[in-house]
Amino acid sequence: MELPRQPGHLLDALVIVAGAGGRIHRHTLHHQNLTGTLGRQLVSGSGRDLVELTPLGLRVLVGAGLERIEEQATARRGRVPAGLKGQVPWAG
């Protein structure tokens, strides 16, 4: 099952929740981010005024992290180290 892509502000909200151990006070998040993550079932209510990551929220967060790592690795492969001053080591 492919995970739905989420807007950056909601991924940022998931990072905030995960960085706090998976559970935070709901007022820590901006109202728009709170309603967006609740509506997409990425977080759920947990006790009085708390929200926590759901299994789906955790999967979305991990998937986005892996995608970002792959993008960074691809970008690094395309770069030439700055110390070579225009020389490309594999060009012989």
Question: Which parts of 8-54 fold into alpha helices (H)?
Answer: 8-19, 31-39
Predicted local confidence at residue 74, as pLDDT: 83
Q: What is the DSSP letter of 88?
A: -
Predicted local confidence at residue 79, as pLDDT: 65
Overall pTM surpassing 0.85 (yes/no): no
Q: Average the pLDDT over 10-28 and give the result.
A: 93
Checking if the pLDDT of 81 tops 60, the result is no
Tell me the HSE value of 81 on the side-chain side, using a 13 A CA sphere: 4
1, 47, 43, 49: which is closest to 22 by C-alpha?
A: 43
52, 49, 46, 43: which is closest to 23 by C-alpha?
A: 52
Q: Average the pLDDT over 44-53 and give the result.
A: 92
Domains of the chain (ranges plus CATH)?
8-77 (1.10.10)
Neighbours of 71 (CB within 10 A): 10
